[in-house]
């Protein structure tokens, strides 16, 4: 294929990647970083109306697996501006991000509400814009609910899973997190808290206050450190093989 046709094909793929999947892979001399956006509402097992902005978990999960296995992609940047959404889908995405070995960074822009909180803390380093907000509240269900003790026990277990995940992947204490989730009088007609950038960092929920350049700078430093470590490992292996050649047993 001629060079100009290859470039045109790549440009078309890049545009489709952005418009269809809300993601982009950016190459520079510092490394290859994949940018994944989680916006609107996280869609779970039930489809949302077409006029809703949504992030579909069946699109994100295979992307994360492909990124982790890719020999070309060096790091992952997650951009968050979400109102929350399906608990199971959100936790599934968060668990996959948390289990990745590649450098990951999240950046909360605008809002990272509800299930967006576990998604934000899942990355190895989390950033938040000073104007961004995060809503913490108890687990709740909409629609028909069977009013039996088992329903409340189930909700309590789901909430415990969320609390455990957040506290394991951030510096906030369990006591502080539950206190913020159960606070009354702050949100109209609801229970919970809205916290902003600086406070989110102060209480240990998010690692650092910052923007896009800060998140990218962190990822570039991690990629550089990883490559240097791999280079040292290869050099030691090469030196060892050379020594074995010179002094065979």
Q: Which of 106, 114, 126, 193 is catalytic?
A: 114
Can you tell me the distance from the alpha carbon of 180 to that of 92, in angstroms, rounded to the nearest whole number? 24
Catalytic residue list contains 137 = yes
**Exactly one of 137, 170, 193, 220 is catalytic; which is it?**
137
Q: Rounded distance, CA 76 to CA 82, Å?
A: 18
CB < 8 Å & 24+ apart, contacts of 190-195 = 190/137, 191/137, 191/138, 192/135, 192/136, 192/137, 192/138, 193/135, 193/136, 193/137, 194/133, 194/134, 194/135, 194/136, 195/133, 195/134, 195/136
List, by residue number, the catalytic residues.
114, 137
């Amino acid at each position: 294929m001629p060079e100009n046709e290859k470039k045109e094909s790549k440009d078309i793929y890049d545009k489709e990647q952005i418009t269809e999947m809300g993601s982009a892979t950016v190459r520079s001399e510092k490394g290859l970083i994949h940018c994944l956006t989680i916006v609107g509402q996280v869609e779970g097992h039930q489809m949302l109306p077409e006029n809703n902005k949504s992030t579909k978990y069946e699109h994100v999960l295979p992307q994360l697996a492909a990124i982790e296995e890719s020999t070309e992609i060096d790091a992952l940047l997650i951009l968050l501006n979400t109102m929350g959404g399906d608990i199971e889908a959100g936790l599934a995405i968060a668990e996959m991000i948390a289990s990745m070995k590649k450098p990951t960074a999240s950046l909360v822009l605008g809002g990272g509400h509800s299930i967006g909180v576990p998604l934000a803390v899942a990355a190895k380093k989390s950033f938040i814009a000073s104007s961004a907000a995060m809503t913490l509240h108890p687990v709740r269900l909409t629609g028909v609910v069977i009013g039996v003790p088992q329903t409340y026990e189930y909700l309590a277990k789901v909430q415990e899973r969320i609390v455990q995940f957040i506290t394991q992947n951030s510096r906030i204490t369990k006591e502080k997190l539950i206190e913020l989730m159960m606070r009354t009088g702050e949100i109209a007609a609801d229970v919970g808290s809205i916290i902003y950038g600086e406070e989110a960092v102060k209480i240990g929920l998010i690692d650092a206050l910052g923007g896009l350049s800060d998140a990218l700078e962190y990822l570039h430093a991690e990629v550089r450190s990883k490559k240097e470590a791999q280079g040292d490992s290869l050099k030691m292996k090469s030196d060892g093989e050379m020594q074995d050649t010179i002094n065979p047993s």
